[in-house]
Amino acid sequence: MRLDSLEKIDVDSIELSGLNVRDVRDANKDLGPLKESLRETGLIQPIVVVPKDGKYHLVVGQRRWLAAKELGWKKISAVILAPMSEEDARLVSAIENLVRRDLPFKDEVKYAEYMFDRLCSRMGKKSIPKELARLLGISENRAMTLLKRRLVPVEIAEMVDRKEIGKGDAYRVSMAAYGNKEKQIELAKEVQKLVPLERKRIDSIANELPEAPVSKWIAEAKKPAKEVEFVLILPVKWADNLKRAAADRDEDPEDTIKIAVIEWLEAKGFS
């Protein structure tokens, strides 16, 4: 995709279209802080548009554009991309938005699903994490974490946005009851009654008792853990690396260590 130019264009010459995959209702929510930022520091990150039929179709920057309109701006800085297919434009929108930290989790789920479907149709499932990592300039582990978002039902993603459940727990319950949406949602509501160590046991309990009801999983999680605790002391360098790896995977460092040790033991034949 070739970059044509960075220019100031008329705010009223920009139109919303299906190229921007962000939910319009979410984009309009709570524009106050963004408008205040635009008043104080101006637009730091230009929006992204493509020319079409004498107008510009918005690809990235829906909230910035809406805030500028509400402030009465006549012009706005925009990266103008060369004309492209609708599929490529939507891909650009998804790529740009998927790595934003202020994005509603529900939209992250939607973008991940869109990216997976588009890349899968182009190159097959095995190459998707590597290609997404290349497009976003991130590690393959981080790309895998982003793609995992697509496994979370929208109802649970909305619970994350309402701060009723954390992202890690959202993924945990989605995988524990994968394939049974009703059970996933029930588990998402019930898991918040558990303390953190009990929540972490849900995965293994669901694997051991896949047909059991959610109430049984919760009861088992509350029982004393059948685990042995080890203390791991790491040099600062490797402790920092562990924190980065855990962040890439949306996990607690303790979970990352546990998974790594179990996978190593299995690989070495100690399962």
C-alpha to C-alpha distance for 41 and 27, rounded to whole angstroms: 21
Q: What is the pTM of this model?
A: 0.64
Tokens 């309402």, residue located: 162
Residue 103: partners with Cβ closer than 8 Å, 6 or more residues away: 22, 97, 111
Q: Which two tokens stand for residue 161?
A: 């946005």
203-250 pLDDT, tens digit each: 889 999 999 999 999 999 998 877 777 888 999 999 999 998 888 777
C-beta separation of 153 from 174 below 8 A: yes
168-177 pLDDT, tens digit each: 899 999 999 9
Secondary structure string (H, E, C) spanning 65-116: HHHHHHCCCCEEEEEEECCCCHHHHHHHHHHHHHCCCCCCHHHHHHHHHHHH
Residue among 88, 86, 64 nearest 77 (CA): 64
Where residue 251 falls among pLDDT bands split at 50, 70, 90? confident
Between these two residues, 104 and 89, which has the higher pLDDT value? 104
Q: Is 137 left (phi over 0), alpha (psi -120 to 50) or beta?
A: left
72-88 pLDDT, tens digit each: 999 999 988 887 777 77
* Res. 20: pLDDT tops 70: no
Residue 258: partners with Cβ closer than 8 Å, 6 or more residues away: none
Helix axis angle, 181-190 to 214-222, nearest 10°: 30
Tokens 């690396």, residue located: 241
| Chain centroid, CA 218 distance in Å | 27
Please, what is the Cα angle at 185 between 103 and 90, to 5 degrees?
Answer: 35
C-beta separation of 218 from 186 below 8 A: no
CB-based burial label for 189 (10 Å; 0-12, 13-18, 19+): middle
C-beta separation of 175 from 187 below 8 A: no
pLDDT at 206: 93
Where residue 2 falls among pLDDT bands split at 50, 70, 90? very low
Average pLDDT, integer, range 117-139: 76
108-126 pLDDT, tens digit each: 888 788 778 877 877 666 6
C-beta separation of 21 from 94 below 8 A: yes
Neighbours of 204 (CB within 10 A): 15
CB-based burial label for 44 (10 Å; 0-12, 13-18, 19+): exposed
